[in-house]
Amino acid sequence: MTANQPGTPQKLPISGVKNLVAVGSGKGGVGKTTVSVNLAVALASIGLKTGLMDADVYGPNVPLMMGINRTPMARGERIQPLEQFGVRLMSMGFLSPGDKPLVWRGPMLHSVIQQFLRGVDWGELDYLIIDLPPGTGDVQLSLIQTAPITGAIVVTTPSDVSLEDARKAIHMFHQVKVPILGLVENMSYMNCPHCHERIDVFSYGGGRRTANEMQVHFLAELPLDPEVRIGGDTGKPVALRKQEGQPFVALARDMISRAEEAGKGGPTIEISD
């Protein structure tokens, strides 16, 4: 690891956590949290010790999507994460339930992100997936400047509007020297339930083309599947299901390979089909 520039916070490791993977997007509405939740569940399903940190403090949807909403307990000075489907969890939604909006400025956001990173007893984890808020604001910078991020995943849809904002997110991670593990094209296509033909609802091929243009790895094309939405709304992520969850298991496998290539000590594992 290179030394930090003068005046920048020191990137101290998170005790017990081998890899931190940030999942971001240039804009909202692309399914970033859906990808984060199902990626974390898929990692746990193939035997990795996994945590999911909901850093989207303005829209903490992880409790709903994971089907759990209790108040975490404290042990000494450390918050104990909740656990569901083998994934350790922390979200502002656990601490501030309901539909009241949070009106916070930069210093308060920095404080809560540091509390989630270092005040939570994550234990031993192979991967801590961090669901960032959309955009390129204070939460992203606070996290990136103070934590040794293994790499970032950028989520987009195939539409030109989403891709334009995804490019901004990629540029941000490049500027702060966070490796891009890859680009995920969510809601890439839909299989017609009647004729079983592929329907490109939001255009076609934009994610792969953008990844090639920006010289980043293209991680996955994820389908627009009603079962994914149902899983998120009912707190039973689709990655729990053997057939419908396969795209997310494939994404997890590819992400593991990219993290290992980043040289951050990602575990080498044997994954059976």
pLDDT tens digit sequence for 19-40? 999 999 988 889 999 999 999 9
Nearest Cα to Cα of residue 66 among 235, 268, 263: 235
The answer as to whether 174 is a domain residue is: yes
**Mean local confidence (pLDDT), 10-14:** 80
pTM here? Answer: 0.87
pLDDT tens digit sequence for 27-79? 888 999 999 999 999 999 999 999 999 988 777 899 999 999 898 998 888 99
The answer as to whether 268 is a domain residue is: no
Structurally, the chain folds into a number of domains equal to 1
The answer as to whether 273 is a domain residue is: no
Instruction: Return the pLDDT at 270.
Output: 43
User: What band does 207 get if pLDDT is binned at 50, 70 and 90?
Assistant: confident
**Mean local confidence (pLDDT), 135-158:** 84
The answer as to whether 129 is a domain residue is: yes
User: What band does 211 get if pLDDT is binned at 50, 70 and 90?
Assistant: very high
**Mean local confidence (pLDDT), 133-150:** 79
* pLDDT at 128 > cutoff 90: yes
d(CA 16, CA 128) in angstroms, rounded, equals: 10
* pLDDT at 265 > cutoff 50: no
d(CA 145, CA 202) in angstroms, rounded, equals: 35
The answer as to whether 10 is a domain residue is: no
Range of the domain at 90: 17-261
The answer as to whether 171 is a domain residue is: yes
The answer as to whether 9 is a domain residue is: no
pLDDT tens digit sequence for 160-177? 989 999 999 999 899 888
The answer as to whether 267 is a domain residue is: no
User: What band does 204 get if pLDDT is binned at 50, 70 and 90?
Assistant: confident
β-partners of residue 82 are 89
CB atoms within 10 A of CB 192: 9
* pLDDT at 254 > cutoff 90: yes
In terms of Cβ atoms closer than 10 Å to its own Cβ (0-12, 13-18, 19+), residue 56 is: buried
Instruction: Return the pLDDT at 37.
Output: 98
b/e 29-52 (16+ beta carbons within 10 angstroms → b) = ebbbbbbbbbbbbbbbbeebbbbb
CATH of the domain at 113: 3.40.50.300
